[in-house]
Amino acid sequence: LQTSNSYLLEWLSRKTEFLDALLDMEAPPKPRQCSSCGGDGIYRCSDCFGQPLFCTLCTRNKHRMLPFHRISQWTGSFFEDSSLNLAGFQVHLGHEGKSCPSRAPNKPDLNELPGIDTTGIHYLTINYCRCPDSPPAYMQLFRNKLFPATLDQPRTAFTFHVLDDFIRDNLECGTSGSNYFSKLRRITSNIFPHLVPNRYRELLRVSRIWRLLKLLKWKGFGHRNREPKQGELALFCPSCPQPGINCNPTDEEVSRCLHLRS
């Protein structure tokens, strides 16, 4: 019968093998080609399975629906942390990742915002849909699972994924909003987390709204044309006595001291 110590001793004998493989993964394969078109593979995606290499054009095309993947760029001697935004990637809303045919040139200070995900804080260049029947910018973001921190000219957006992850961390680990956002800043820049934009207050505000929206959805108020009354958002307890449902009406007549012993 093997114990945990036995498995550790077995691995310890092969420690060098694992360390060599870890170091090999820091270097690009030979030849250094794009895994898609065979061109010059200068970008490596750490979130795509297998960490494939891509050329600049394929990096943009392959991540059309994956704007929060993290990439690094080959400098000639090592892979340096980069971003899809620096590679020229743009997020197009409303047309399945393709550019809107009706889009007018956006003002540069209105279409760039930090998008916050579990993988860190990412700078996104957003191209909104400009069709005549297109919804406002905040709703375009929301329908793509990006919760805007403000309604008027959104400057920050949180993915639904990061909001759910924060709620789970808060529930299971007791993580405060401050500590959770500090973790996101550390994920973004392990050496200089203080240089990453601080959106702690926005996280608290948006996560509060997100909790309420999910409660309203779970309790069916999206299909009711009225505001919830007091107690209607509370979780129903199936263990509490409900005469005629999970207990007999006569059970209330039983003395409270029936099963007590002194």
- How is 70-127 classified by DSSP, letter by letter? -EEEE-SSSEEE--TTTTT--EETTTTTSPPTTPPPPPTTTSEEEEEETTEEEEEEEE
158 falls within a domain: yes
CB 115 within 8 A of CB 146: yes
Together in a domain, 97 and 85 = no
C-alpha–C-alpha distance, residues 39 and 59, integer Å? 11
Residues 6 or more apart whose Cβ sits within 8 Å of residue 124: 67, 85, 91, 112, 113, 114, 115, 157
- Residue ending a domain, choose from 41, 64, 89: 89
Together in a domain, 119 and 201 = yes
Together in a domain, 77 and 128 = no
pLDDT at 109: 40
pLDDT at 104: 62
Together in a domain, 112 and 214 = yes
**Beta strand 112-117 pairing with 157-159:** parallel
Using a 10 angstrom Cβ sphere, with 0-12 exposed, 13-18 middle and 19 or more buried, the burial of residue 61 is middle
Tens-place pLDDT, residues 9-56: 999 999 999 999 999 999 999 999 999 999 999 999 999 999 999 999
Together in a domain, 103 and 113 = yes
Together in a domain, 84 and 146 = no
| Greatest distance between any 2 Cα atoms in the chain | 85
Together in a domain, 75 and 189 = no
The single-letter code of the amino acid at 18 is: F
2 falls within a domain: no
Together in a domain, 106 and 195 = yes
260 falls within a domain: no
227 falls within a domain: no
**Residue ranges, the chain, pLDDT below 50:** 108-109
C-alpha–C-alpha distance, residues 75 and 90, integer Å? 23
111 falls within a domain: yes
169 falls within a domain: yes
The single-letter code of the amino acid at 243 is: P
44 falls within a domain: yes
Together in a domain, 98 and 180 = yes
Q: What pTM did the predictor assign?
A: 0.85
Q: Is 54 helix (H, G, I), strand (E, B) or coil?
A: strand
Phi, psi of 133 (to 5 degrees): -100, 15
The boundaries of the domain holding residue 177 are 90-219
- What is the count of structural domains for the chain? 2
Together in a domain, 57 and 122 = no
20 falls within a domain: no
Together in a domain, 143 and 200 = yes
Together in a domain, 111 and 161 = yes
